[in-house]
Structures are given as C-alpha cells and as structure tokens.
Amino acid sequence: MQVILHIGAQCTDEDRLLRGLLRNAGELHREGIAVPGPSRYRMLLSEAISALGAEKPTPEAREVLLDAILSEDPGQVSRLILSHETLFSVPKIALEGGTLYRKAERRLQAIARLFEGDELQIFFGLRDFATWLPAMLRATPHETLESFLSGADPMKLRWSDLVMRLRRALPGVPITLWCNEDTPLLWGQILREAAGIAAERKITGSFDIFSELVSPEAMQRFRGFLRENPMVSEAQKRRVMTAFLEKYALPGVMEEELDMPGWDAAYVDMLTGLYDEDVWQMAQMDGVRVLTP
C-alpha cells in the first residue's frame, strides 16, 4: 500500500488539501484510493506514536491501525492519504529548543515502523519565514516572538535543515514540497499528486484557492476561457491565472500586513531572499521534489 502523509506545515493549509480530496473521495474510492476523515486517525496516530516511542510495534499493530482508519477492507486499498499537520508538534512548541520541529525525525520513524512494508511518501507545504513566524505566533499562546522562537534566529532558520534531517532519518521515503505562496497556481497539481492520478485528469476543486483571490466576474471569465480552450496545457493555464491575478485580484488579498517589532522592510526582504535560496537548495536534493508553477 502507498501511504501518503501530508504533514503541514502549520499555517499553510488549514485542512484545504484534505477537504479538497474528500470532495473527490467517492470517485477515488472506486480506484482503491482511500481518503478517510480526520477523526478516524489523527488522535489515533498521535497516541500510537507516543506509545510506541523507539520500540518496534507488535506484528498486528498495522492491521489494527488500518481497521480503525479505514471503513473498507484494507486489501482493497492501494493508496491511503492521511493529513495531520500537528503530527510533529502543536504550534506553540514548533520551535522548542530553538530547533524547527525537533521531534520530527523520531515521530516520522515511528510512523514508518507502524507502516513497515508500505510505501510511505511525505507531502509538505513550505512558507516564507517572514510570514510564517508571525502567523505561527498568532496561533499560539506566546505573547512575544522571542518566547515562541525559543532561542532560534529567524535569519538562520531553514526548511532545508528539516528536510535534510528527514532524509537522513528515512532515506527511502520521498518528499514532495511546494511553496504556500504558489499554492493558488499549483492547487490542482497538488491535489492530483497527493491522489496519485494523471496530471491532465480533471479533479473537483482544482481552482478553489484561485477563485478566492479574484472577483466573481473574473472567475466567470476564466472559466469561460477554459470552456473555449479545452486543450490548453497546465503551463498555459498558469500563465493565464497569473495574468488574471495581476489584473483582477481582490484588494489586499495578495498582500500580507506584517507588524513585528524590530522588523523593517529590509529585514523582511532578507528573510524572503534566504527562503527563495533555500527552496532552490531543496530542489537539488535526492529524493525531494519541489512543485513549481
């Protein structure tokens, strides 16, 4: 069985991927692709990982887990999609000890042991630390950024450090990444990649995020373009979407107001430049794919 594990990052997805796949669950189910609801597995997985620790699971652990997660016979499932953005940690301790998700390797190794013999794949959305840190701070009880950072220096934070740690811990597990900033253009591809279906296949909800950024009239015009050009390629669609965003984006949706003490425009630009560099570095890693528009 292929086990697709979408693990965040927090403040990038808000369960959109899961909801998007659940909209297509009926059709996917007929092809052996299971998209269980989160109540069937999130607490269960977290508890199983905590109970397991560094121990080896019992021989029947996988079977018991799948019976609880799936409503169908596990033998009929070829691909299982799980989304759990707090699997590594809850937001308030995401930087505990000054390290980004410091328990990530151990928790992912425990998942791999639970699904031993299955083909585990990791899906992960990234976000510029210039906007991720303020968003995470708002999602926690911390009153100051310094308290949340727990000694970490924003200028030294790198997603590639986390990805490299995961690759070293589980070199056989491929990782698919994308930038949250590109999600409106990539959303259809992200849904298809997670589902494991063909790139040209239609999937419900592929323009959901894009539709939230432009006026209803612009969305109607875009859908008209698609109807008139049914053979248009994904690359051409994205070029048109980019043009529509430039011309018809709703006021304020493309901008994020940052008001962090001590952060001026130059500091934010430096964080963004480091992030762009880091994304390029991850795209060069073995076993890592970075989806781009």
Residue 125 lies in a domain: yes
The answer to whether position 230 is within a domain reads: no
Inside any domain, residue 8:
yes
C-alpha pair distances (Å), 256 with each of 125, 135, 153: 18, 10, 22
The secondary structure of residue 49, as a DSSP letter, is H
CA atoms within 13 A of residue 226's CA, in its CB half-sphere: 14
**Residue 228, in any domain of the structure:** no
Query: Which residues are bridge partners to 125 per DSSP?
Result: 178
* Residue closest to 80 by CA, chosen among 37, 109, 129: 37
What does each C-alpha distance from 92 to 34, 109, 200 come to in angstroms? 31, 22, 40
How many domains does the chain fold into?
1
pLDDT score of 252: 81
Residue 218 in contact with residue 259, Cβ under 8 Å? no
List the pLDDT tens digit at each of the 293 positions of the chain. Answer: 999 999 999 999 999 999 999 999 999 999 999 999 999 999 999 999 998 888 889 988 999 999 999 988 988 999 999 999 999 999 999 999 999 999 999 999 999 999 999 999 999 999 999 999 999 999 999 999 999 999 999 999 999 999 999 999 999 999 999 999 999 999 999 999 999 999 889 899 999 999 999 999 999 999 999 999 988 888 899 999 999 999 999 988 877 778 788 899 999 999 999 999 999 999 999 999 999 99
| Alpha carbon distance 208, 13 (integer Å) | 13
Asked if 136 and 94 count as a contact pair (C-beta separation under 8 A), the reply is yes
pLDDT for res 281: 97
CA distance 109 to 113: 6
The answer as to whether 240 is a domain residue is no
- 8 A C-beta contact, residue 175 and residue 124: yes
State residue 46's pLDDT score.
93
Model-level pTM?
Answer: 0.94
Residue 227 in any domain: the answer is no
Residue 162, domain member (yes or no) = yes
- In terms of residue numbers, what domain contains 170? 2-203+262-290
> What CATH number corresponds to the domain at position 24?
3.40.50
Whether 217 is in a domain gets the answer no
